[in-house]
Structure 1
Amino acid sequence: MAHRGIQYKNKPLTIHKAVSNPSFNEKTILVTSTWDYMGLWFKRSHKKKALFYWQQAQHFYHATTELPKNSSPLTAYYCMLNAAKAFLLAKNITFSDRHGVSGRQRTGQTYLSNEIVKFKGGGILAELCRHLGESANNEEYSLQHLLYNMPFIHRAYDLSYDSAKELFIPIRNPEIVRSRTTNEAWFSAELVKKYANMNTVNRLPSNYKKDEGITDRFVIRSTRRFQWIPSQKTQSLQRYQQYHKTLRKDLFYIHSPQRLWYIKRSNGVEGFIERSTITLIFAAMHKLSELARYSPERLAKHFEGRYNWLLSEFISIAPLQFIDELSCELTGYEFMPSGRVS
């Protein structure tokens, strides 16, 4: 084999949940409640105003779990809105009181494709976008496509829209490896058996290919490289952090008791959106909250249609996925349920 895994702090160097400022030298935080841990984090960081909004977000989350699905999008959205405010305050990012997102409806039948969401140029969502390196220039997407681009409900989406192309490919054993003869390093991961074929590779972003040097497993590798010099670990880690930020545009995770990572295909896919799960969730839940407030009968029709399970899964799972991603992004840590191996 022409390469080997990189060890950092006696652990294999791999991908991280946080995008902008991951702490690769920190242990995984094992928690029974991310809410409570983050409440203590805000207190210790003397972020009093941010803590207030975080606590409000937690109250809205608990209310969401008690409400029927026709009403719960409203409290779920305000959970996310207040958590986002806490995030921006803790990051010392200036923001206006505008939400930064709006919606409209196309004429026609009650389809998710006719529910349109606009990412505005100012407001809370816009600042989240900019922090994550995304644009915020009045782009519009359908609610259907927003949901299509979320890995944690992708199976529900596939079953609701059986003609849709699979967008997320599961990977395992993700690692950063280094050449045995040079200082070049790159991302590598194994495809699970169902996807271990060249048809899958051909559907991935163009900067990934099969690692022909490995024959006992089906491994893909990034063609992008960075320099890892063992004698310069601090500088090498800084280079990896920049590399990792680019890498995470293709790699997504599902919040669960296990580490579940996916690579997102992009070649020839209608409805593909190059955005983080954080901003997609925020925008989609805003749209559903608008329907709950102003067009409850239209929302009820959506639940009566074939997307019932898809919408129910999104409303149920999205708040905790959002909070996990936001917490990792804010602290640079990774969170897992207690009792798991870190």
Structure 2
Amino acid sequence: MLLPTQACWPELEQYGADAVWAAVTREAQAAAGDEGEEDEEFDLTTPEWRAFTHPRDHALPDFTTVRERRLPDDTADWLDSVVLVHRLREVSALTGFTRIEAPEWLPEEDTRTRAVAPLSRGNASTWVPCAELRGEGVFLALKEERLAEWERQDAVRAREEILKSAHWAWCTARRVEPRWPGIRYVLLHTLAHVLIRQFALECGYGASGIAERVYARSGPDPMSGILLYTAAPDSEGTLGGLVSLGRSERLGPAIAQALEEARLCSSDPMCAEHEPRIHSRLHGAGCHACLFAAETSCERGNHYLDRALLVETLTDDKCALRP
């Protein structure tokens, strides 16, 4: 869980701590008292997205951002904004244990319904162990109009049906509810993996030390962006090597090189010709040689990836966002 929502603190300071806490308490009590309404899934990505896309720069002890004023060359048709995240804080909590398949590998669902081994023998425990990490990152927001137009293309819709069919078979075999994240998520997730590989060659951090956060949602309140960041419990997470890649003079060549490398995989043509429906896989054109990342980097266990959606491949030249 990233914590950029502290950006609202300066706006609340004028009211005083007591008044703010009283308002929060009233809202919590009102929400708890509403009967007949289903509990909404706890959403962290929306406030994070709003903090990163806020037009004002933030300068807080645990969250410092600077919006890059100039976009890299040759990205104006699809890239909307770049934010340099000089400081961020990540908090993770250990709530239980699973075997065979990690929870984050499955489609998003209420984790309370998952069969996990508890941390204690009883239910009396009111706390769980947490880790607080600090680091830096680069946030990229894509143009909503460009993505919406891309999603409406016939070739993209046909590709989505193939991936959705494989996704349904994969979930059915594991007796989990199919919850397709959307073709937009697959595109942004693929872009994140392509950039992680390229950034690792230039920023000084290993690829396993760079993590991703994907913001993908269509509809009335859309999101389309990715955060690539590194975090550590000591000063190694804030040395500046990663955030410096967000500057236009360095980001442009890095993106161009990453997309060029993604066009051809050393396992082609087998990688480009991969049919996800045959073995019920959750990825299209992608493998360890071109897209897969370390478990510490990927939020979905190297699922929902497809190079054909991002660039032209040996077998598909109709779906690419960047032809």
Q: TM-score range by the shorter chain?
A: under 0.3
Larger RCO (CA under 8 A, 6+ residues apart):
1
**Which has the larger helix fraction?**
1
Structure 1 length as normaliser, TM-score?
Answer: 0.23
Structure 2 length as normaliser, TM-score?
Answer: 0.24
